[in-house]
Every structure is written in C-alpha cells, then in structure tokens.
Chain A
Amino acid sequence: MVSFIVRRVLSTLPVMIIVAIVVFAMLRLTPGDPAVVIAGDQATAEQIARIRSNLGLDLPIHVQFVTWIGQLLQGDLGISIFTNMPVSTLIAQRLEPTLMLSLTTICFSVLVAVPLGVWAAWRSGTWTDRVIMVFSVLGFSFPVFVLGYLLIYEFGLTLKWLPTQGYKSPFSDPVGFVRSIIMPTITLSMIYIALVTRITRASVLEVLSEDYIRTARAKGQIERKVLFRHALKNAAVPIATIIGIGIALLIGGAVVTETVFNIPGLGRLVVDAILRRDYPIIQGLILVFSFTYIIINMLIDIAYTFFDPRIRY
C-alpha cells in the first residue's frame, strides 16, 4: 500500500515536467514575436527590444529554458506585464477564494448527491426515483448564471438574507465567509449534484443486484446498512471518478460563478489576464491548473485502492 502511494506520487513527476516543457514551448513557438504582440501596435523598435530582453527572449533557447525551470523550482513564475507584480503573488492572492469555493462546492455536492443517488437506486422505478431524476435533469440544463442571478434576486435583494456580492475570508471573518459563500456554492453545485446523483444511482443500482447484497440481507442486516455499508463502497469507484472529473471541471465553472458574485478568485484572474494578454500570468495559471489536475488524478487513483482492495497497480 505505502509502496503503491510512493510510486504513484513519483509517477506524477514526469507528467509535471512534460507539462512544464509544453507551457514553456507555447510562448516560444507561437507564430510571431510575443514581444511585438505584448508591445502593441504603436510600439517603437526600442520598446520591443526592451520587452524582449525583459522577458529574456534574446538569449539562446536552452539558456532560456534552464533559467525558466530554475525560477519555476523556486516558485518564481515571472512578472505580470500589466501590473508589474510577481505572478506567484497575484495567483496566491486569488487562490484562497477559488479554493474555498471549490471546497464548499465539492463537499455540498457530495453530501447532497450521494445520499440522493443511493435513495433513488433503492427506490428505483418508484415516484421517489422519478422525482429525483427529474431534478437531476433540471440541474443539468439550468444555466449557472441564471440560477446565480435568481438567487441574488430572491435571497439578496428581496429577502435581504444574504450578501449579493464579494468574498470574506474564513480566517478573518468566519460568519461573513459563510454568508458570502452560500449562494455561490449552491449555484456552482447544481450541475455537480445532478451529475453525481445520476452516477451514484446507476452504480448503486448495479451493485444492488449482486449476490453479496442478498447475503447481507440473509444475515438480517438492516436496509440502511445494506445500502451504505455493502452497496455504496462497492459502487464507490465510478462515483470517485466522476467527482474527480467534477473537481477538474469546477475551475471552468468557477469563472462564471465568480463573475456573477464578484468574487476575486482565480477565475476572474484568468479572464482579466486573457483580456489584457498578460502572458506570464496566463502561463503561470496554466501551470497551476495543470498541476492541480495532476494531483487530483493522483488522489483519485489512491482513493480507488482504498475503496476496492482488489485494485493494485
């Protein structure tokens, strides 16, 4: 078990290196001179040359690569062209809101969706099942921003229960954090609840027809434990997979939600950086996102072996 985890962690290193090389190459291999693009239409040759030397683009490519990797290892992602601030600082500032929103969304989605899915499977073919499945279709088809604005209108503007905009850190203002995160979490969760409920229902339904479920009942086990102790753990692998994919997709979903609720997170940083063509930030964000995906994938793989003792790599 331990050796598997160590091997799995080590196996992420080559992937990370390849990602780093691709990201490095992207800026260098795109057609045209990035310095010209960055400098804009009215730039003089001098300005372009200065930008080029600032970016280190006048050095031989292998020197650039070694310097870049060296900086990367020290956590240095370069300097933002627009704000002149270190990219690592900018990302660190924006990391917390996104991380918190992702965390609350995943927890909320799983807590709601897994029991709903198990319930639907247990009651499969009945009205309970059908109602849950109809809600799940709605969850898929309802646009995120529409739900967000509806919630803001009802709970923020009409009832005035919750703040409509902004983000508070849980470390400085726990109550404010909870109040400000509720609506964005519900908004962002809807699609994941729909997704995870469906997958949970399907995989639990399959497991419920297995012989060992009959064995558990023959022992006199109560239904709740038959479902959660015997069925759910066997159904866990596809559920964990879809949750993992969900976390990866979350970053994309977060962009819209962060915009609707005016949360200063990574999603907003991405949008701003792209609009301003701030290459170092885009580069840094791609790296951060890719590394997050790689780590989530690794965690999911490790989770498999926890759920199912037959899985060994």
Chain B
Amino acid sequence: MNTAHTPASETILSIRDLSVALPASGDRSYAVQDLTLTIHPGEIVCVVGESGSGKSVTAQAVMGLLPKGQLQPSSGTILLEGEDLLAASPDRLRDLRGSRMAMIFQEPMTALNPVLTVGDQVAEVLHIHTTLDAAACRARVLEMMRAVHLPDPERMIDAYPHQLSGGQRQRIMIAQALILDPALLIADEPTTALDVTTQAQILKLIREMQVRRGTGVLFITHDFGVVADIADRVVVMQHGKLVESGTRDEIILRPQHPYTKMLIASVPSLTPPARAPVTGPVALETTKLSKIYQSGGGWFDKGRIVRAAHEVNLSLRRGETLGVVGESGSGKSTVARCIARLIDPSEGGIWLEGENIATLPQARLRKHRKTVQVIFQDPFRSLNPRRTVGQSIIEGPTNFGLSEQEALERARDLMALVGLSPDALSRYPHQFSGGQRQRISIARALAMQPHILIADEAVSALDVSVQAQVLELLDQIRVKFDLALLFITHDLRVAAQICDRLMVMQKGEVVEEGATVDIFKNPQHPYTKALFDAAPGHDFARSH
C-alpha cells in the first residue's frame, strides 16, 4: 500500500495558472489557459462548459493521462494534497492514480473491459496498489459492491459488463474508483449517458459516498440541472479559460458573465409554451403495433420473451410534432424503427397513405421508403466517414431516379436551408462539429422529401446551446415542409419545447398520452410523475 502521501492538508486539489498547449496545427494555442481552481475535502466542484471548453483536458492533466506528444501542460502547478503532480515521475503518478486520485467516465458501456469480469476489474485496483491476497481482495470487492448498492454482489462479482445495466456498470465504476478511499474523485460526465431516474440514483450515490468519506470531487458536466443538484461550487469554462466561478447559488441564480447567462438560458425550460392544436390530415397511424424479442438469456434473465413494444396506438398529423418519451428499454426507439421498417414489427398495423406497411415485403416497401426518414442520435457515427457529405446526401434521391445533377442542386439548396455553406458538400463528416453534422443529417433526410420525419434522440448528443439551435431548425422545417415529426427523446425539457403532444412509454407500453401542456401541468401516471421528479435540477428549472 502506498503510504507516502502527505497528511491531509487544507486543500485536496489546487490547480494554479495551469496552461495546456495544443499542437501547432490546432485552431487555438491552448486547450486550457491560466486555469486556477481549488477543491477542499468533502467538497463537490462542478466544472461546466460545452465541448471544447477544456474541462476534460483539465481532468486528464490532473490524472497525468493527457495523450502523449499531443497535449502537454506548459505552465502552472497542480498540487494534490500538497504534492506537485506536474513534477512527479511517471511511476509516482501511477502510484497516485487509483489510490489517491480516481476517475469515473461518461460511458459506463465502454469504460469497463468487456472480456474481464466486473469483480476482477474492481479487484485490479487492489492488486495494483496493495498486497492483499486473493481472498481478502474478494471480500473487499464484495463489501464495496454492497456499499454502492449493487444487488446480489455474490453473483454479480463474476458477471461480465454486458450482463449489467448501464446504471449497474456506473456503480461498478464508482466502486472501482472509491475502493481505496482516494482524496480526489474526478467524475467526467458520469451520468450523461444514463436515464434520468438512474442519473438521479447515481448522483445520490456519489453524494452519499463522498460525504461519508470526505472525498473532494471534481465533477465535469455540461448539464446545469446536474449542477443545481450536486454542486457546492461551480467553475464555468469557455474555450479553455475560466470565465466565472462561485458558489452554486451565485452562479445559477445570479450569473454575471454573458457566457454563463447564455448557457443557463439555453437550458430548455420544463414549462412548455402554449401550442395551437394541429388539424392537418393524418399522415401516420399505428394500430396495436407490437415487437417481441426472443432474448438469448443473460446473467440475470435466463432466456425469455421481451415485449419491446406492446400494442402501441398512435396517430400523427401533417404539421404536428408527437413526442415519445421514455427511458432506455421503454420501447420508444423500437416503435420508431418499426415505423421506418428498419425492423419488422411482430404484430399490428402501420398505416401510411391508406396502406398498411407493417407486413409489406421489401420490394413493395420501397416506394414508401421516401415517405419516412430518420435522423439518428449520434451524428459522429450515422454519417459514413469515407464519403463526402454531398455523396451521402444525394445517395437517396439518385436511388429514386433523380439525376446526379438535380440531386446536387437539391443538396445545395438544403445546405443553405440548414445553415451550412454549399461548399460543405465536397468535405468529409470528420471536418464538421457535432451540431453541424446533425444539420447534415437533417439535410440528408430532407433530400428524400419525406412526409414523416423521425428524430430518434436527434439532439441528445449535442451541447445545450447547439441543441437549442437544432431544435429551432427542426421546428422551422416542420412548418416549412408541413412535416409530421415523430420526436423520440428521453429528455423532458427538450420534449416540453418542441412537442404538440406526448406519449410516455415504459417497458414497451404507452402509459400516458395527451397534449404536452396538460401532461406537464398535471401528470397522471406514477411513472410520468417519477420522471418529472428525477429530472435533474427541476426545482431550479421551475423557478427560472
């Protein structure tokens, strides 16, 4: 066990005038510039900012995990319990990582090694930093798994990550990070990839563990709701610089800097605006739409039938936005994919232009493919990286008989419509930011001139300010092309802003349905109420 650390000093982490240089080819010279912040024992400091603000680079600099040769701290000091980390040798840093400072990450799906059992991965920290024998390690791991409230640790300790839910995996990450009682915990967007109810539980757990152990927490997030729930103090970063810092209430209730004000204003409100009822013709109807999966059997469910969607009835008018809200596993994406016939429904009908397409064979389905278009969640993966943006956009129209010239003409118009320059057509997806890529995805969908647009978590991966712009764009094109918009989301705030009507789904079934304003004012079903309660920072949101 590492015993060389200095006795508890006043501050756990003290970053002073830290600058991290970017390679010469970058668009600015510093990823982080003149950053100063301190964390005291038992304190949670939230670092807030959008992508590119330098918040993750700061975390990596503290951990000594900056990618070698690309990013290098160029000046300043980072003191962990009084010890200068920038002056420490690689071996010393390795000793400190996992024992005195630990880190949890955004994606619990990918942050755990898929081929090792979760028990082994937690125990690995003990193997690295202690001389405990195997039996003692196992006992410590079990104890820690109980402490993070994992069910049935005796069985779960030998499970592999893919056999656990996202929330359980994040609990494993927390167990692994805190098992040696580090002085500092760095949490990099630890709940961003989780459902709201799971997020609320994980935030509560981090709070609980941190209070009990007096851990100092550097909590990185883009979500002001989370900040409102968990922060003691807040540091706001933009383009690598600290723009404002203060206590939680100072920042959230009385922000001074324009950037902070803009960030807070971009957080969609939980109060939906009034909307006139839509009276256009019905574009899409489903009747008792069901999808059943035969599951292969995981650790805790040995081969059973899963009703991913059960007797879903919906109707959607031209010019209307219907929100389908639910957590992962609620069946909201399954419904969307059935409607687009990306997967085949097990039962029920899907009525498009008077024809039931639920069971149409692929050949006869083709003419309907134009009608329904989908925008997916991850703009980084839904565009083919080896094809130019133009090639991606014109592929659909040329498949349906448009000449390449006409298709390109249409693509140029669409680029202007979504707010990009037409010369973007000859560039590749990696040359664009997330928000721009999502605009490209929208242009690609529109190129098919659909009647129905399905947005499957289309703004979930975006920064709040970008999110607001893309939502606005979606609303504009809905009006312009009289589209029926099926909007799939887990985010109640987003749903409040854009949807005329809402469908709340849980475990494959629709539990509540109605006008957005009514549901927000007076939710009926217990699950809907639970979703509202779990929405991060909802007290703060009601007030602003």
Chain A residues within 8 Å of B, Cβ to Cβ:
210-212, 214-222, 229-230, 233-234, 307-310, 312
Contacts and interface: CB of A to CB of B under 8 A. Distances in A.
Contacts of B116: 229-230, 233
B138 interface: no
B111 A234 contact: no
Contacts of A230: 113, 116
Nearest to A312: B296
A165 B113 CA distance: 49
B115 A309 contact: yes
B334 interface: no
Contact of A220 (B95, B107, B110, B112): B95
B160 A214 contact: no
Contacts of A234: 113-115
Given A220-B94, A220-B125, A308-B114, 17 more contacts: A211-B110, A214-B105, A215-B111, A218-B65, A219-B102, A219-B124, A220-B128, A220-B129, A221-B98, A221-B124, A222-B94, A222-B128, A230-B116, A233-B116, A234-B115, A310-B115, A310-B162
- Size category of the B interface is 20 to 34
Given A210-B110, A308-B115, A219 B98 contact: yes
B112 A217 contact: no
Nearest to B113: A212
Nearest to B117: A309
Contacts of B112: 212, 215
B99 interface: yes
A125 to B, nearest CB: 9
Contacts, number: 71
A236 to B, nearest CB: 8
B486 interface: no
A260 B2 CA distance: 59
A219 B296 contact: no
B107 A211 contact: yes
Contacts of B160: 309-310
A212 B113 CA distance: 5
B63 interface: yes
Contact of B115 (A221, A222, A233): A233
B97 interface: yes
B168 interface: no
Contacts of A307: 115
B114 A220 contact: no
Contacts of B65: 214, 217-218
Residue from B107, B124, B296 whose CB has the most chain A CB atoms within 10 Å:
B124
Contacts of A216: 113, 124
Residue from A210, A217, A233, A308 whose CB has the most chain B CB atoms within 10 Å:
A217
Contacts of A229: 116
19 contacts: A211-B105, A211-B111, A212-B114, A214-B65, A214-B111, A215-B105, A217-B97, A219-B102, A219-B124, A219-B176, A220-B94, A220-B96, A220-B98, A220-B99, A221-B94, A230-B113, A234-B114, A308-B114, A312-B296
Contacts of A214: 65, 105, 111
Interface string B102-145: 11010100111111100000001100110000000000000000
A222 B129 CA distance: 11
A310 B96 contact: no
A212 B110 contact: yes
Contacts of B94: 220-222
A220 B96 CA distance: 7
B125 A219 contact: yes
Nearest to B129: A220
B360 to A, nearest CB: 32
Residue from A211, A215, A307, A312 whose CB has the most chain B CB atoms within 10 Å:
A215
B331 to A, nearest CB: 23
B125 to A, nearest CB: 5
A230 B102 CA distance: 18
A238 to B, nearest CB: 14
B128 A221 contact: yes
Nearest to B101: A218
Contacts of A310: 114-115, 160, 162
B296 A218 contact: no
B265 to A, nearest CB: 32
Nearest to A217: B65
A26 B103 CA distance: 65
A212 B111 CA distance: 4
Contacts of A217: 65, 97
A312 B160 CA distance: 13
A211 B113 CA distance: 8
Shortest 10 CB-CB contacts between residues of A and residues of B: A220-B98, A220-B97, A211-B110, A219-B98, A212-B113, A218-B103, A309-B160, A211-B111, A220-B94, A215-B111
A302 B319 CA distance: 55
Interface string B164-208: 000000000100100000000000000000000000000000000
Contacts of B113: 212, 215-216, 230, 234
Given A214-B105, A310-B160, A312-B296, A219 B97 contact: yes
Contacts of B111: 211-212, 214-215
Nearest to A310: B162
Interface in B510-525: none
A307 B113 CA distance: 12
Nearest to A210: B110
A233 B128 CA distance: 19
Contact of A218 (B63, B95, B115, B162): B63
Contacts of B114: 212, 234, 308-310
A222 B115 CA distance: 19
B126 to A, nearest CB: 10
Contacts of A219: 97-98, 102, 124-125, 128, 176
Contacts of A233: 115-116
A101 to B, nearest CB: 33
Nearest to A215: B111
A233 B121 CA distance: 14
A217 B173 CA distance: 14
Nearest to A126: B69
A308 B162 CA distance: 11
Contacts of B107: 211
Contacts of B115: 233-234, 307-310
Contacts of A221: 94, 98, 124, 128
B3 to A, nearest CB: 15
A43 B176 CA distance: 82
A216 B160 CA distance: 16
Contacts of B102: 218-219
A212 B176 CA distance: 13
B380 to A, nearest CB: 14
Residue from B94, B96, B176 whose CB has the most chain A CB atoms within 10 Å:
B94
A218 B102 CA distance: 7
A221 B124 CA distance: 8
A183 to B, nearest CB: 38
Interface string B9-39: 0000000000000000000000000000000
A214 B110 CA distance: 10
Interface string B284-300: 00000000000010000
A309 to B, nearest CB: 4
A181 B4 CA distance: 54
A220 B110 CA distance: 18
A218 B110 contact: no
A225 B200 CA distance: 35
Nearest to A230: B113
A292 to B, nearest CB: 29
Nearest to A235: B115
